[in-house]
């Protein structure tokens, strides 16, 4: 900058050079513009939303309610009540017994004395049982 000032104050033919003044002005405008662009570019780098700062909205799980009936298999029906209670009716004697269940995505694990029963949610109106609960269960609407 000292050299630029010296050039500005040099006299040519006994007068100050106006050409040097316009050059200095142009250089200063260019530097300012580049500085503004650089600051803008650096600030835009952090503008992208990150996964850490994002609020994740999880889809609301459907609550299992109602009775699902099957004509084949060991179990005649599963009646879901509340968020963790199921009433199971067996197909042999017709006895009802209550148990609890856990939901893991599309799978339902029903806790019983002997073993766990596993059902898969195919649609909101149908379940497919595996193992001892083998069979297809359709929802009954009253």
pLDDT digits (tens, 9 = 90+) for 20-75: 677 778 888 898 888 888 887 777 655 555 556 556 655 556 678 999 999 888 89
Shared-domain flag, residues 41 and 81? no
Whether 50 is covered by a domain: the verdict is no
CA Rg, the chain, in Å? Answer: 38
Shared-domain flag, residues 74 and 32? no
Shared-domain flag, residues 80 and 133? yes
| pLDDT single digits (tens) 97-142 | 999 999 998 999 999 888 899 999 999 899 999 988 899 999 998 7
Shared-domain flag, residues 76 and 34? no
Whether 95 is covered by a domain: the verdict is yes
Per-residue b or e along 97-111, where b marks 16 or more CB atoms closer than 10 Å to that residue's CB: eebebebeeeebebe
Shared-domain flag, residues 84 and 122? yes
Shared-domain flag, residues 86 and 135? yes
The count of structural domains within the chain is 2
Note down the domain range covering 134.
Answer: 66-140
Whether 51 is covered by a domain: the verdict is no
Residue (of 77, 96, 98) closest to 86 by Cα position: 98
pLDDT at 3 over 90: no
Cβ 118 vs Cβ 108: under 8 Å: yes
Whether 88 is covered by a domain: the verdict is yes
Shared-domain flag, residues 11 and 73? no
Shared-domain flag, residues 78 and 134? yes
Whether 41 is covered by a domain: the verdict is yes
């Amino acid at each position: 900058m000292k050299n630029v000032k010296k050039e500005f104050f040099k006299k040519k033919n006994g007068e100050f050079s106006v050409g040097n003044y316009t050059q200095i002005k142009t250089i200063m405008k260019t530097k300012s513009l580049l500085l503004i662009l650089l600051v803008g570019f650096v600030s835009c780098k952090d503008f992208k939303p990150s996964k850490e700062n994002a609020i994740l909205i999880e889809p609301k799980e459907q609550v299992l309610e109602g009775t699902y009936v099957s004509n084949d298999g060991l179990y005649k029906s599963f009646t879901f009540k509340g968020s963790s209670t199921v009433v199971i009716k067996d197909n042999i004697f017709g006895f009802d017994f209550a148990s609890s269940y856990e939901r893991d995505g599309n799978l339902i694990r029903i806790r019983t004395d002997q073993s766990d029963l596993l059902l898969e949610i195919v649609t909101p109106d149908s379940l497919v049982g595996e193992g001892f609960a083998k069979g297809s269960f359709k929802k009954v609407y009253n």
